[in-house]
């Protein structure tokens, strides 16, 4: 059986139930804890190519030093580097964070824009980051697609795409909007704990009866 719009509500419900005792992804936790679009944006920049167990502590260290664009610009890039190390590409990200803060103050009157296209004009902000800022920072339904969402949506057979951007566009057309807010967070947690890239835990999967198991060579 394939995941379709006839059973997607049940699939999401099952995943949510199975994941309820596991921690949310780091950027989701930042959004819930600080309720700040700016801090969601900064934590998302740090999360790129970095594991959650590294991103959240790095966010906490940095936000103790500065939690708004004005104060962030008072820090040197070296101070930011020291606070966020060992996130991936921490030196580049420190410069990106400074650039984003300049944009927010000079172009957007000190506020993070809540528009996808405008967010994408900021250097270092791609579609994944922009969509995540909308959902976790502003509580605006958006379609954030990372590697987990791309891989699992294709593994299910729900979409058939070759890249995360193609998956985003396919999900925008197909996935009921009621699921947009938490689809990313659910599938990231799901992908880290059950539907892993290599040798997924199919024996523990609560939606295996719906899944096509595309590209699954070995499972547990």
**CATH code (residue 105):** 1.10.340.30
3-class state of residue 9 by DSSP:
helix
Do residues 129 and 42 both lie within one domain?
Answer: yes
Judge if 170 and 84 occupy the same domain.
no
Question: Same structural domain for residues 55 and 156?
Answer: no
In a domain, 74, yes or no: yes
How far from 208 is each of 14, 138, 183, CA to CA, in Å? 10, 33, 18
Question: pTM for this one?
Answer: 0.95
Residue 173 lies in a domain: yes
**Domain-terminating residue out of 138, 171, 186:** 138
Number of domains in the chain: 2
Claim to verify: residue 130 and residue 153 sit in the same structural domain? no
Q: What is the pLDDT of residue 1?
A: 81
**Statement to judge: residues 35 and 130 lie in one domain:** yes
Predicted confidence at residue 213, as pLDDT, reads: 96
Structural domain ending residue among the three candidates 118, 138, 158 = 138
What local confidence, expressed as pLDDT, does residue 144 receive? 97
Per-10-residue mean pLDDT of the chain, 220 residues long, equals: 94 96 95 97 97 97 98 98 98 98 97 98 96 98 97 98 98 98 96 96 96 94
Looking at the fold, whether 34 and 15 belong to one and the same domain comes out as: no
Residues 43 and 13 in one domain: no
| 54 in the same domain as 19 | no
Q: Are residues 68 and 91 located together in one domain of the fold? A: yes
Range of the domain at 44: 26-138
216 domain residue, yes or no? no
Residue 214, domain member (yes or no)? no
The answer to whether 109 touches 118, Cβ cutoff 8 Å, is no
Q: Which residue has the tokens 């790095």?
A: 58
Based on the domain organization, do 32 and 95 belong to the same domain? Answer: yes
Residues whose CB is less than 8 angstroms from the CB of residue 190 and which lie 6 or more positions away in sequence, other chains included? 15, 18, 19, 148, 152
CATH number at residue 17: 1.10.1670.10
Q: Please check whether residues 107 and 130 belong to one and the same domain.
A: yes
User: Helices in the chain by DSSP H: which ranges?
Assistant: 8-19, 26-34, 37-47, 52-65, 69-74, 77-84, 90-107, 116-119, 127-132, 138, 147-156, 164-174, 180-193
- Would 210 be classed as within a structural domain? no
Q: Is the distance from CB of 200 to CB of 220 less than 8 angstroms?
A: yes
| Domain boundary pick from 87, 108, 138 | 138
pLDDT of residue 70: 98
Note whether 55 and 86 are same-domain residues. yes
């Amino acid at each position: 059986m394939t995941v379709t719009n006839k059973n997607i509500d049940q699939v999401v419900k099952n995943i949510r139930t199975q994941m309820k005792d596991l921690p949310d992804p780091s950027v989701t936790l930042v959004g819930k804890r600080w309720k700040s679009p700016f801090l969601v944006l900064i934590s998302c920049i740090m999360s790129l190519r970095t594991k959650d167990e590294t991103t959240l502590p790095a966010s906490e260290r940095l936000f103790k030093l500065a939690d708004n664009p004005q104060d962030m610009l008072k820090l040197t890039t070296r101070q930011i580097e020291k606070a966020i190390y060992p996130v991936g590409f921490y030196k580049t990200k420190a410069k990106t964070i400074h650039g984003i803060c300049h944009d927010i103050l000079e172009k957007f009157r000190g506020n993070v824009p809540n528009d996808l296209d405008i967010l994408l004009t900021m250097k270092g902000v791609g579609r994944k980051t922009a969509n995540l800022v909308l959902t976790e920072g502003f509580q605006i339904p958006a379609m954030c697609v990372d590697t987990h969402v791309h891989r699992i949506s294709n593994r299910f057979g729900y979409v058939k795409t070759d890249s995360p951007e193609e998956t985003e566009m396919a999900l925008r057309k197909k996935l009921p909007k009621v699921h947009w807010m938490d689809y990313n967070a659910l599938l990231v947690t799901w992908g880290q704990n059950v539907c892993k890239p290599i040798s997924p835990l199919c024996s523990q999967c609560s939606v295996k009866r719906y899944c096509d198991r595309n590209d699954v060579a070995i499972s547990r």
